[in-house]
Amino acid sequence: MCGVFGAFCKNGSSVLEDVYLGLYALQHRGQESAGIAWNSENGDEVNSIKGMGLVHIALDQKQLASIRANSAIGHVRYSTTGSSGLANAHPITANYSMGSVAIAHNGNITNATGIRNMLESRGAIFQSTTDTETIIHLMAHQSHKPPLDALVDALRHLKGAYSLAVLLGNRLVAARDPWGFRPLVLGRREDTTYVASESCALDIVGATLVRDLEPGEMIVIDETGIKSLRIPVQASRKYSCAFEYVYFARPDSVIDGKSVYEVRKTLGCRLANSSPCPSAEIVTGMPDSGTIAAMGFAECSKQRYETAIVRNRYIGRTFIQPTQRVRTLGVRIKLNPIKTLIDGKDLAVVDDSIVRGTTVERVISMIRQEGAARVHIRIASPPVRFPCYYGIDTPTCEELAAARLDIDALRSEVGADSLNYLGIEDLLSAIGLPPSDICTACFSGEYLDGGEDNGVDL
């Protein structure tokens, strides 16, 4: 999962500081690297600054504020394809025969390996190991076409997930794959138009949310205004990621017209109805991702809610750290239970999901050390049993706790007195979009075209 942000100002004002701020708001979507690309004033050449780590470490805000550019894109990365290194940091940039191009990508192109093999066999030399670079090479293979046509043609060959912010010369282009896996929104403030992975990034620059990009839509923004085009791919159905609502997106974002906060609260409420925990004296949430669902659970079950586990805010999310060792250390140092709330009590602990099972096991152990009498785990989504091929780091079934074990064996492994999950039907109805528009593949195994797909049609 990554975050993209783009800005174009019609009156020529510089937008680099806005892009920096937008990335700041999207930091939860990627913490490995950050980058910003902009065009020279005549649009002939693309420039970029990239760095490893969090936005404020990777990028120099003062330096960016001093650069004049009326269109720019930015990216925060967490790797799903290609290693975590500066060569793979986005935006991916190139100056080719038809002009300059910079691409910031959220998602995972499932047939990128096949495309890359094909292009390399024809002499292409790749600079990075990212799936995104295939787009630039596909464009370069259409160098007789104007850049926008070459981009449309490149996208026509892709399968899987891509929400893109692209600079083509002085134009800002945004594109959402025909299945709509990852969110992408359009916003505006006076003469400046923005595109962003989530609406929370529009709030920080004082822009209003205009609308979501439609799956399969490409938007071209330049001095003449905004044009909407279609990517010429017929999708059999939409696949908007259910996990964005469950975990990834910020609760203050609105995706495809649905408030993430409201969805999370409803998930908790439905969980309270389907898997009540009447013996619990306190309902608490696994911070931060389970907190809102826990509030919904407590509200619907009319039980007492307490913030019984406190999170150190200055530690990143464990789930999106790249190695198991860092994940394990992260859990140990980031959460702390409050003994006076827990000692001698029956607790219902609500979390958004169990992926590897590391966090829940350690938290239960910590809670027991603080004297909890019984610990009941309630999960506000279905068991994650299948890997995601669309831009989330759940690579193999062996790493997924619910794929390795049935629910009772998992309960025993994590040390809970009871463990219950939300059903898929409840998840879909809490999101509130038509079920046929939602991807639930990591819960159900129902992938687009059977899952990982290296099919190439060049």
Distance between CA 311 and CA 229 in Å, rounded? 44
User: Should residue 179 be labelled a site residue for ligand SF4 when binding is judged by CB under 6 A?
Assistant: no
Q: Which stretch binds ligand SF4 (CB under 6 A): 267-275, 332-340, 426-434, 437-445?
A: 437-445
Q: What is the DSSP letter of 433?
A: S
Residue 26 binding ligand SF4, by CB under 6 A = no
Q: Which is nearer to ligand SF4, 101 or 439 (by Cβ)?
A: 439
d(CA 344, CA 325): 32
Does 441 bind ligand SF4 (CB under 6 A)? Our answer is yes
Nearest to 217 by CA among 172, 173, 186, 178: 178
Identify which of 428, 408, 379 has the alpha carbon closest to the alpha carbon of residue 271. Answer: 379
Q: What does the alpha-carbon distance between residue 346 and residue 254 come to, in Å, rounded to a whole number?
A: 35
The CA distances from residue 361 to 4, 122, 134, 321, 423, in Å, are: 33, 50, 40, 18, 22
Residue nearer to ligand SF4 on the CB measure, 350 or 392: 392
CB of 244 to ligand SF4, least distance (A): 7
Distance (Å, whole) CA 416 – CA 410: 9
Choice between 337 and 387, CB closer to ligand SF4: 387
392, 410, 414, 430: which one binds ligand SF4 (CB under 6 A): 392
* Per CB under 6 A, 388 contacts ligand SF4: yes
Q: Could you say whether residue 442 binds ligand SF4 (CB under 6 A)?
A: yes
Size of the site for ligand SF4 (CB under 6 A): 11
Regarding 263 and contact with ligand SF4 (CB under 6 A), the answer is no
Residue 243 in contact with ligand SF4, rule: CB under 6 A: yes
Whether the ω angle into residue 91 lies within 30 degrees of 0, i.e. cis, is yes
Establish if 242 lies at the interface with ligand SF4 (CB under 6 A): yes
Helix spans in 11-167 (H):
16-25, 55-58, 61-65, 112-121, 133-140, 147-156
255 touches ligand SF4 by CB under 6 A: no
At 441, the amino acid letter reads A
Residues 138-177: x where in contact with ligand SF4 by CB under 6 A, - otherwise, as a string: ----------------------------------------
Which DSSP category does 210 fall into? Answer: E
The least distance separating ligand SF4 from the CB of residue 243, rounded to whole angstroms, comes to: 4
| Binding status of residue 424 toward ligand SF4 by CB under 6 A | no
Least distance to ligand SF4 from the beta carbon of 439, Å? 3
Catalytic residue check, 9: no
Tell how far CA 22 is from the center of its chain.
Answer: 15
Helix, strand, coil content of the chain in percent (nearest 5) = 35, 25, 40
Which stretch in 222-230, 317-325, 333-341, 435-443 sits in contact with ligand SF4 by CB under 6 A?
A: 435-443
Tokens of 222: 């330049």
CB 373 within 8 A of CB 402: no
Residue 306 or 393 with smaller CB distance to ligand SF4? 393
Using rule CB under 6 A, residue 181 touches ligand SF4: yes
Supply the minimum distance, in Å, between the C-beta of residue 239 and ligand SF4.
Answer: 7
Alpha-carbon span 229 to 222, nearest angstrom: 14
Which residues form the catalytic set?
2
- Contact residues for ligand SF4, defined by CB under 6 A: 181, 241-243, 388, 390, 392, 439-442
